[in-house]
């Protein structure tokens, strides 16, 4: 399988090279040259497979330059760190199916992809004899999932910048209690934007980037999308065992990575009726789907902070397919978007969009009310991101069956859950005692030169 760029200006590369490249060198995003089609016979032969085996069948279609035994081992060990034997179990509450994606070590769905990506990086670096220094900024979830993905791994250092005192206390502790020698937390005296700007400047300094082999783990890496395709199949099998009606997935969306994985699954032939794109008050993607209006607003803070995003980086991947795989159209729309801050679509394109997607924006009060009502009726606690998806499903899926992706464990966002229900969610075992554990973290000014010097000293 070869990989091409949405902007059309790179020579096709294999899977391994695509993983190491991250962002395509022409500024686009990498995509497989063609999406493999799964016929009905293959689909039914996959129905009973355990999660790891299913993951191997799907991932090997896209990663054919890794020997099968090696790939199997990488996948198996990626999911050993999950605390549920089904990896992503599906539960049913009040007629709503919930695919729990939060059984990984940091209690958010990002573990599903980042456990795999960490193992993949280690494997590829060992093979090529190279080293990598991962540098990233986080407002919470991505940082801890990335750290848990690569802690203790050979040939990799990770440097994660977070705004000092501005993440939730649990989120900060999930990062700073990891004491492996290759993990470096930097608490920046500033905002998330300060952190992100410093990281961008480091990557833009090509001499520094080359010298220290900087690597990224943000959601534009194809391997992350790929690992997420698996749970759409897994959940679809569980639910279609029980119902005959069309199945819609409701996906709490920020960067469009998770829902794009659903789009890939649908395009492979998984019979998904609609993908329901659920947003919080940062609703640019809902305006796009429902009104054809894609124009940036300013980011507002909500109780579902991992979705407080305006420009979704993976959206470009979808546009490539919407434009019939024509990279010239992708280049053109991004050039005009850079100048005007908006994108325009034809009526026919919007009809195509609405055949695949529905969308609902869910405000703060609705989110808290959904957590409260769901808890009262079923005893089941939703985290605020999942609640956005559940509310969207209750409002929009009138005929057919909804599967809501549960993207985080409620204990990770205990404050919002307590605000909604009056009681804080109990801590799961993996967080027990986290407040007493020793931590290691460098507190630094929001000063690029100082941070660059720190990274240079620690980088192997």
Site residues for ligand PLP per CB under 6 A: 108, 110, 141, 219, 252-258, 306-307, 385, 407-408
User: Can you tell me the distance from the alpha carbon of 332 to that of 310, in angstroms, rounded to the nearest whole number?
Assistant: 20
Q: How far is the CB of 368 from ligand PLP (least distance, A)?
A: 16
| CB contact burial 243-257 (16+ within 10 A = b; e otherwise) | eeeebbbbbbbbbbb
Is residue 250 within 8 Å of 385, Cβ to Cβ? no
Closest residue by Cα to residue 361 from 418, 269, 249, 285: 285
Q: How far is the CB of 416 from ligand PLP (least distance, A)?
A: 12
Q: E-assigned strands of 131-271?
A: 132-137, 156-163, 183-189, 214-215, 247-252
Q: How far is the CB of 409 from ligand PLP (least distance, A)?
A: 9
Q: How far is the CB of 384 from ligand PLP (least distance, A)?
A: 8
Out of 16, 110, 153, 266, which one is annotated catalytic?
110
With respect to ligand PLP, which residue has the nearer C-beta, 5 or 228? 228
Closest residue by Cα to residue 406 from 61, 188, 155, 99: 99
DSSP classification of residue 426: P
With respect to ligand PLP, which residue has the nearer C-beta, 71 or 259? 259
With respect to ligand PLP, which residue has the nearer C-beta, 317 or 385? 385
With respect to ligand PLP, which residue has the nearer C-beta, 90 or 225? 225
Is residue 415 within 8 Å of 171, Cβ to Cβ? no
Q: How far is the CB of 437 from ligand PLP (least distance, A)?
A: 22
Q: How far is the CB of 387 from ligand PLP (least distance, A)?
A: 11
User: Can you tell me the distance from the alpha carbon of 324 to that of 177, in angstroms, rounded to the nearest whole number?
Assistant: 47
User: Can you tell me the distance from the alpha carbon of 339 to that of 309, in angstroms, rounded to the nearest whole number?
Assistant: 20
With respect to ligand PLP, which residue has the nearer C-beta, 177 or 255? 255
With respect to ligand PLP, which residue has the nearer C-beta, 194 or 383? 383
Is residue 225 within 8 Å of 264, Cβ to Cβ? yes
- Residues linked to residue 96 through DSSP beta bridges, in sequence order: 93
Is 110 annotated in the active site?
Answer: yes
> Which residues carry out catalysis?
110
């Amino acid at each position: 399988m070869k990989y091409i760029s949405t902007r059309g200006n790179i020579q096709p590369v294999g899977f391994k090279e695509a993983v190491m490249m991250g962002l395509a060198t022409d500024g686009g995003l990498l995509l497989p040259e063609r999406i493999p089609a799964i016929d009905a016979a293959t689909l039914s032969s996959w129905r009973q497979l355990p999660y790891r085996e299913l993951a191997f069948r799907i991932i090997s279609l896209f990663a054919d330059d890794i020997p099968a035994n090696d790939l199997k081992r990488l996948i198996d060990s990626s999911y050993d760190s999950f605390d549920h034997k089904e990896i992503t179990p599906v539960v049913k509450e009040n007629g709503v199916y919930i695919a729990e994606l939060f059984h990984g070590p940091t209690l958010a769905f990002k573990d599903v992809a980042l456990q795999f990506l960490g193992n993949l990086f280690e494997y590829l670096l060992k093979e090529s004899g190279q080293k990598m220094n991962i540098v990233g900024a986080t407002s919470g979830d991505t940082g801890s999932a990335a750290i848990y993905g690569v802690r203790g791994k050979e040939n990799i250092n990770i440097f994660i910048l977070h705004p000092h005192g501005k993440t939730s206390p649990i989120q900060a502790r999930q990062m700073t209690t990891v004491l492996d020698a290759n993990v470096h937390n930097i608490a920046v005296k500033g905002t998330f934007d300060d952190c992100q700007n410093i990281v961008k400047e480091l990557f833009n300094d090509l001499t520094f980037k080359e010298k220290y082999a900087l690597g990224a783990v943000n959601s534009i890496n194809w391997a992350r999308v790929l690992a997420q395709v698996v749970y759409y199949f897994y959940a679809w099998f569980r639910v279609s065992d029980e119902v005959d009606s069309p199945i819609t997935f409701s996906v709490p969306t920020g960067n469009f990575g998770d829902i794009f994985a659903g789009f890939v699954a649908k395009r492979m032939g998984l019979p998904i009726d609609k993908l329901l794109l659920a947003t919080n008050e940062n609703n640019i993607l809902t305006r796009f789907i429902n009104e054809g209006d894609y124009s940036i607003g300013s980011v507002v803070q909500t109780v579902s902070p991992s979705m407080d995003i305006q420009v979704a980086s993976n959206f470009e991947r979808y546009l490539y397919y919407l434009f019939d795989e024509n990279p010239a159209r992708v280049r053109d729309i991004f050039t005009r978007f850079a100048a005007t801050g908006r994108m325009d679509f034809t009526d026919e394109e919007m009809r195509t969009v609405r055949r695949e997607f529905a969308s609902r924006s869910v405000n703060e009060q609705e989110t808290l009310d959904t957590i409260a009502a769901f808890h009262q009726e079923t005893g089941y606690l939703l985290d605020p991101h999942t609640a956005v998806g559940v509310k969207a499903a209750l409002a929009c899926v009138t005929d057919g069956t909804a599967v809501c992706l549960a993207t985080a464990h409620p204990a990770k966002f205990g404050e919002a859950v307590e605000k909604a229900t009056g009681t804080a969610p109990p801590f799961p075992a993996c967080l027990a005692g986290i407040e007493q554990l020793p931590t290691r973290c460098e507190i630094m000014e929001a000063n690029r030169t100082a941070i660059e010097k720190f990274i240079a000293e620690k980088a192997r």
